[in-house]
Chain A
Amino acid sequence: MLDNINFEVEEDDLICIVGPSGCGKTTLLRIIINLEQPTAGKVLIKNRPLKESLSDLGFVFQESALFPWRNALENVKFPLEIKGIEKEKREEIARKYLKLVGLEGFENSYPFELSGGMKQRAALARVLAKDPEILLMDEPFASVDAQTSNKLQEELVDLWQKTMKTIIFITHSIDEAVYLSDKIIVLSKGPSVIKKVFSNALPRPRDRNSLEFIELKKAVMEEIAD
């Protein structure tokens, strides 16, 4: 599926990986978080092997993976329980992150009571509570309507600038990739290799209708279509 993939990610970068369906974007991300094993090659986090650095990584799935039996607050508390943080602190930290993603007031809501966008926000709050340095996101806004998606993208950039994390973000949407990233990695059809890496130095906040934005989009789309 993946043929020969070699790349580096700088600290605090927000990079996007794009490519045709089935080219292995999700597989790549899953390898980075150790949910799947590569047949060859390895992942190094700050030059240390992956297995030692798992606590530095966080993952956001495409569909809401919130635990349905826990309300929003309890979901966010989950990684804190794992870390062994004391009860009062857990409450405090969880509330903080829910507020950060704009879900203040919804602490006691259960996933089935939340909209798609809200669920993904809660999932984000939950992974942020783990406080990973590197965030891996697998098309997290794909199952949400376009308007909400755009809003979530803005909020993500805002969050990223506030928390200074490294983010690797997979998307099908070139618009999303150009809006978010410092760097866009384009994968070829499977078995995939890296076709091209685009640098994105557009100043933030980005205007989706600006000439430069649209030109970059075009360039990326042409590269994928090739």
Chain B
Amino acid sequence: MILFHPFKDILGIGSLYENALISVARVFLGFIVATAVAIPLGIFIGYFKKVREFTNVLIELIRPIPPLAWIPLALAWFGLISAADLLGIETYHPILGNLQVSMVFIIFIGAFFPILLNTIDGVKGVKTILIETAITLGARDKEILRKVIIPAASPVILTGLRIGIGIAWMCVVAAEMLPGSSYGLGYLISHAYDIARIDMVIAGMVIIGLIGILINIIIEFFEEKKFKWRSKNA
């Protein structure tokens, strides 16, 4: 049973472990970039009412497009360029050579919108009384943003991160199942199907599920520790 030999190579496309690693690396990169863009942007949009009104239509227009629908465009824009190419690495690199920009882009799109929208919501939803309290205690705008709005919005933003990474994880697996990809758990599953190795398909699915749960557990643990005030607070 493949599951018991996660480090054994499968039909020349690497072991379960290696492919899982590639998938995780892709998600990680896409997720980090999405977070780095969506959170500051979300804070900016959530903070200024005028900006919200301005960008609302644009966001609502793009949001419903499923991340996977971006694949043709991503391939057209980025082709098969990988992170290794971007960093100017000439020889084959096992990890960086398999972090295709197009794939990371899809993951980025998948994670971006939940994080953005939750951040906007979180910032927008900070209770006025908390902001007014800060004002009466002498805080000025920058201090209010840093010391009140961001901490107050954090639980909602974290929820956005949790949703975002969940979608990102689904995106990578699906994106890897499409023709033209190489390595990764999604690729492993579709490849295994092609050669009628259903045991490998199931093994791949189990790993995908386990990693998904693990990610969730990590985030929930973090939520429990740092945000226990959230659930108890009306």
Q: Which A residues form the contact surface with B (CB < 8 A)?
A: 33, 35, 54-55, 57-59, 61, 63, 65, 67-70, 78-79, 81-83, 110-112, 126-127, 130
Bound CA span A78–B143, Å: 11
A48 CB to nearest chain B CB (Å): 17
Number of interface residues of B (CB under 8 A): 22
Chain A residues contacting B147 (CB-CB under 8 Å) are: 78, 81
Bound CA span A130–B228, Å: 28
Q: How many A-B residue pairs have CB under 8 A?
A: 59
Bound CA span A126–B137, Å: 9
Chain A residues contacting B228 (CB-CB under 8 Å) are: 110, 112
Tell me which of A57, A83, A110 contacts B136 (CB under 8 A). Answer: A57
Q: Which B residues form the contact surface with A (CB < 8 A)?
A: 129-130, 132-139, 143, 147-148, 151-152, 154, 227-230, 232-233
B129 and A111 form a contact (CB under 8 A)? no
- Contact A35/B135 with A69-B154, A111-B229 known, Cβ cut-off 8 Å: yes
Bound CA span A61–B136, Å: 10
B130 and A58 form a contact (CB under 8 A)? no
A130 and B137 form a contact (CB under 8 A)? yes
Bound CA span A38–B132, Å: 17
- Contact A112/B233 with A78-B147, A81-B147 known, Cβ cut-off 8 Å: yes
- Tell me whether chain B's interface is mostly helix, strand or loop, or mixed: helix
Bound CA span A78–B233, Å: 20
A111 and B233 form a contact (CB under 8 A)? yes
| Besides A110-B228, A130-B138, 20 other A-B contacts (C-beta < 8 A) | A33-B136, A35-B135, A58-B137, A61-B129, A61-B132, A61-B133, A65-B129, A65-B130, A67-B130, A67-B151, A67-B152, A68-B152, A68-B230, A68-B233, A69-B154, A79-B138, A82-B138, A82-B139, A111-B229, A130-B137
Considering the complex, give the chain A residue whose CB is closest to the CB of B226. Answer: A69
Chain A residues contacting B129 (CB-CB under 8 Å) are: 61, 63, 65
Chain A residues contacting B233 (CB-CB under 8 Å) are: 68, 111-112
Q: List 13 A-B contacts (CB under 8 A).
A: A54-B138, A58-B136, A59-B133, A61-B132, A65-B129, A65-B130, A65-B133, A67-B152, A68-B229, A69-B227, A78-B134, A82-B138, A112-B228
A35 and B132 form a contact (CB under 8 A)? yes
A127 and B137 form a contact (CB under 8 A)? yes
Chain B residues contacting A35 (CB-CB under 8 Å) are: 132, 135-136
B65 CB to nearest chain A CB (Å): 35
Considering the complex, give the chain A residue whose CB is closest to the CB of B133. Answer: A65
- Tell me whether chain A's interface is mostly helix, strand or loop, or mixed: mixed
Bound CA span A33–B135, Å: 10
Bound CA span A78–B228, Å: 20
Chain A residues contacting B138 (CB-CB under 8 Å) are: 54-55, 79, 82-83, 130
A120 CB to nearest chain B CB (Å): 13
Chain B residues contacting A58 (CB-CB under 8 Å) are: 136-137
Chain A residues contacting B133 (CB-CB under 8 Å) are: 59, 61, 65, 67
A69 and B137 form a contact (CB under 8 A)? no
Bound CA span A81–B140, Å: 12
A112 and B137 form a contact (CB under 8 A)? no
B229 and A82 form a contact (CB under 8 A)? no
Looking at B137, B139, B148, B230, which has the most chain A CB atoms within 10 Å of its CB? Answer: B137
Bound CA span A61–B147, Å: 19
Chain B residues contacting A33 (CB-CB under 8 Å) are: 136
Looking at B134, B227, B229, which has the most chain A CB atoms within 10 Å of its CB? Answer: B229
B144 CB to nearest chain A CB (Å): 10
Bound CA span A83–B140, Å: 11
- Contact A110/B229 with A67-B151, A81-B147, A82-B143 known, Cβ cut-off 8 Å: yes
A131 CB to nearest chain B CB (Å): 11
Chain B residues contacting A69 (CB-CB under 8 Å) are: 151-152, 154, 227, 229
Chain B residues contacting A130 (CB-CB under 8 Å) are: 137-138
Bound CA span A51–B163, Å: 45
Report, nearest first, the 6 A-B pairs whose CB atoms are least far apart: A112-B232, A59-B136, A65-B133, A68-B233, A79-B137, A82-B138
Considering the complex, give the chain A residue whose CB is closest to the CB of B230. Answer: A68
A128 CB to nearest chain B CB (Å): 11
A55 CB to nearest chain B CB (Å): 6
